[in-house]
Amino acid sequence: MKKRGIGMASIFYGTGYGNGFPDVSSAVVEIHDDGSATVLTGAADCGQGSNTILTQIAAEELGLPIEKITLISADTDCTPDAGTTAATRQTYTSGNAVKLAAAKAKKILLDFAAGVLAVNTIDGLDVKDGYVYVKTFPQKRVAVAELASHARFKGNRLIGEASFTTHSTVVDPETGQGAPYYPYAFATQIAEVEVDTETGKVEVLRIVAAHDVGRAINRISVEGQIQGGVAQGVGWALTEEVELKNGQIQNPSFTEYLIPTAMDMPEVTPVIVETYEETGPYGAKGVGEPAMLPTMPAILNAIYNAIGVRITELPATPEKILKALKEKEQSND
């Protein structure tokens, strides 16, 4: 007999290394003579899309078209340290570093532009679509490329360097109290499963994943990270287990260590809940690891809703499901 159930789980997750650990990212931004710009960052893009996000942030801050931005990342020959790609930190920490570095480069550009445009302060200037213009008189403008070229001839380089440190404090070792992380991401996921009571097999039919990510700088990228996180959560709940014997891994290959394939994935509905995080770059936080954490407990709660047994040891294999059902039946006798 196949029985269906629905379960829900919510989490909150701290951004960055936490607990007072040094959490610093640095970046360098230079505006060139042709009106383009280069961003140097040590942030390694492992496929999560940080190169795209950091390029977007630089383009927005500099007021340049995104195709004018060249981002060089994770090159130990020339990029500054940006810490590890871990702890859901690159959009927040490296994003802030890139934004600050771009703002410094833009400040030098605007200082030079103030003289060219004959204004007495840079407060009335802005940059958009590759032009520096007077806010109250937009027709008065000059191309970034022209300004950068003139600045170079006068011996100026439009370079900004900046570092950003994520706020964190060490918790009290006696009480465990404190504020080890900031900011936090929040999420709730709902899972619908079908459990075969004869075989113990669990099929995840659907996951609805709602995530507070701050401001979504790139919605497609956020949805992709949520999809990927759910896939990891499904594997965590149902199949993935490192088997050890005398300190040696017994299932070191993917023929024995089972992860979900695309064929195993349920329907996933990402729901992006946008808030504005004041300390984040343009209000962004992060979505990496939080996307996988609620999936497992939501699935286990759905299993309980379907067949009335609690699985307390992962993964929830068919053998464990059948064993729990048998124990439940015996307790009822």
pLDDT digits (tens, 9 = 90+) for 55-98: 999 999 999 999 999 999 999 999 999 999 999 999 999 999 99
Neighbours of 312 (CB within 10 A): 9
pLDDT of the residue at 2: 96
* Residue 274 to residue 88: CA distance in whole angstroms: 17
Together in a domain, 64 and 154:
yes
Strands 267-273 and 202-212: parallel
Residue with tokens 């990212």: 25
Together in a domain, 226 and 260:
yes
Question: DSSP secondary-structure letter at 169?
Answer: -
Q: Output the domain CATH number for residue 251.
A: 3.30.365.10
Domain count, the chain: 2
Q: pLDDT category, 332, cuts 50, 70, 90?
A: confident
Average model confidence (pLDDT) across the chain: 95
Per-residue pLDDT at 309 exceeds 90: yes
Q: pLDDT category, 178, cuts 50, 70, 90?
A: confident
Together in a domain, 205 and 137:
no
Per-residue pLDDT at 227 exceeds 90: yes
Give the active site residue among 289, 313, 319, 329: 289
Strands 184-196 and 202-212: antiparallel
User: Is 91:284 a contact under the CB 8 Å cutoff?
Assistant: yes
- Cα dihedral sign, 26-31-32-34: positive
Residue with tokens 């039946």: 329
Which pTM was predicted?
Answer: 0.93
pLDDT of the residue at 252: 95
298 in any annotated domain: yes
* Residue 200 to residue 191: CA distance in whole angstroms: 18
71 in any annotated domain: yes
Find the domain containing 54 and state its range.
19-165
Strands 137-143 and 131-134: antiparallel
Q: What is the pLDDT of residues 280-295, one digit of tens each?
A: 999 999 899 999 999 9
Spatial neighbors of 136 by CB under 8 A, at least 6 apart, are 124
Together in a domain, 237 and 112:
no
173 in any annotated domain: no
Spatial neighbors of 23 by CB under 8 A, at least 6 apart, are 16, 17, 83, 87, 89, 93, 165, 166, 168
Active site residue 289: yes
